[in-house]
Structure 1
Amino acid sequence: MDIHWEPVSQLCNPCLLQYNFIGKFESLQEDANFLLRRVGAPANLTFPDFKDRNPLAERTSSRITQRYFKQLNATERQKTFDFYYMDYLMFNYPKPFKDLH
């Protein structure tokens, strides 16, 4: 499996490490800038804005997740949700479809 599709719960060892900061990709710029301030980085050092490079790029969102899940049948949706279930729990993501359990 390509690492980009691996569940985060399998990559970050949440039970082995005691994290004191967790950021989300959806709020990457805001979270990174917050962390920079917390570690005492100079005020002029900020995380780059991806929109500067590609202003039309759409980032990860619930809407995008739903769009991809709609392409799957009910069984495939459930299997995909099950595969990423721990990530949904760990990061408090909403279920993309109500029929998932």
Structure 2
Amino acid sequence: MSQKKREERIHETQELRKQLLRETCAGDKETFKHHLEDVRDKELENLIVDDKHGIIYCYIPKAKLKHYTKFLYVRDPFVRLISAYRNKFRQHNEYFYQQYGRHILRLYANQPDPPQSVDEANASGMRVSFQNFIQYLLDPLTERKEPFEPHWRQMHRLCQPCLIKYDFVGHQETLQQDASQLLKILMLQDDIQFPPSYENMTTPAFLLDWFSAVPLEDRRKLYELYEEDFRMFGYKRPRELLDG
């Protein structure tokens, strides 16, 4: 494929992704917020502004938006949850153990008095399982107590794509080609070299392996919880996990 054809295809992909966002937002106005006044400041706190280059990467101040190039990167919602679990609960992370792990062990792992530290928990072989993590997400009390932690908060809630007209929507599954196109849009292709991406591991077998211990009913509830992310960002419903 020629370079020109490749660039045309990347451009067409971007237009389709942005069109999907617009159509999803317009078609479900009851679900998605459409006015900045309706958004709490806490829902915007993780977004990043680069004044020097005029870039917003999912940090949205309440003014000056039209002067910035606005972009975001998304990921298959279920793979994102697996990544969050592995990073926060399978690795040595004292903060997440204290803030979330001990609570999850008490409520969903039948451990009324979990170890006081992550080192003690690891030494005793007591860890939050992936199924425990899913149970925590599905519990209505979790969201009622406070908004989801950003690592597992829905992407449309993190980035408010129905409020912000993003100029670029990247997918982690096509990271390399998307990054190249983004740097051209930002006119930074001569200043930044993007590192090579790792092989995509989002295969049906990969997902099935992780969700094998999660009951079918819980998988379906989890999909409902993240369904808007699947729809809005163009990810297919994972039938192999949900159709029994």
Contact 1:23 1:32 survives alignment (8 Å): yes
1:79 maps to 221
Q: Deviations over 1:35-68 (max 9, x none)?
A: 00122224463212244xxxxxx65514333433
RMSD: 2.3
* TM-score in terms of structure 1 length: 0.74
1:55 maps to none
Give the distance between the partners of 1:79 and 1:88, measured in 2 at CA: 14
Give the distance between the partners of 1:94 and 1:7, measured in 2 at CA: 16
Give the distance between the partners of 2:178 and 2:236, measured in 1 at CA: 20
Kindly indicate whether structure 1 or structure 2 has the higher relative contact order, using CA contacts under 8 Å at least 6 residues apart. Answer: 1
Quote the offset at 1:74 in angstroms.
1.4
State how many pairs are aligned.
Answer: 94
Give the distance between the partners of 1:66 and 1:50, measured in 2 at CA: 23
For structure 2, the 5+ residue unaligned runs are 1-147
* TM-score in terms of structure 2 length: 0.34
Contact 2:175 2:197 survives alignment (8 Å): no
2:55 maps to none
1:22 maps to 169
- The change in CA–CA distance for 1:60 and 1:84 in structure 2 (over 3 A counts) is farther
Structure with bigger gyration radius = 2
Runs of 4 or more above 6 Å deviation: none
2:212 maps to 70
Instruction: State the AA in 2 paired with 1:99.
Output: D
Give the distance between the partners of 1:44 and 1:59, measured in 2 at CA: 26
1:40 maps to 187
Give the distance between the partners of 1:25 and 1:96, measured in 2 at CA: 17
For structure 1, the 5+ residue unaligned runs are 52-57
3-state DSSP class of the match of 1:83?
Answer: helix
Give the distance between the partners of 1:38 and 1:76, measured in 2 at CA: 41
Give the distance between the partners of 1:62 and 1:80, measured in 2 at CA: 19
2:233 maps to 91
Between the aligned residues of both structures, percent identity stands at: 32
Structure with greater proportional helix content: 2
Structure with greater proportional strand content: 2
**More displaced, 86-95 or 23-32?**
23-32
1:61 maps to 202
Contact 1:8 1:87 survives alignment (8 Å): yes
Quote the offset at 1:7 in angstroms.
1.0
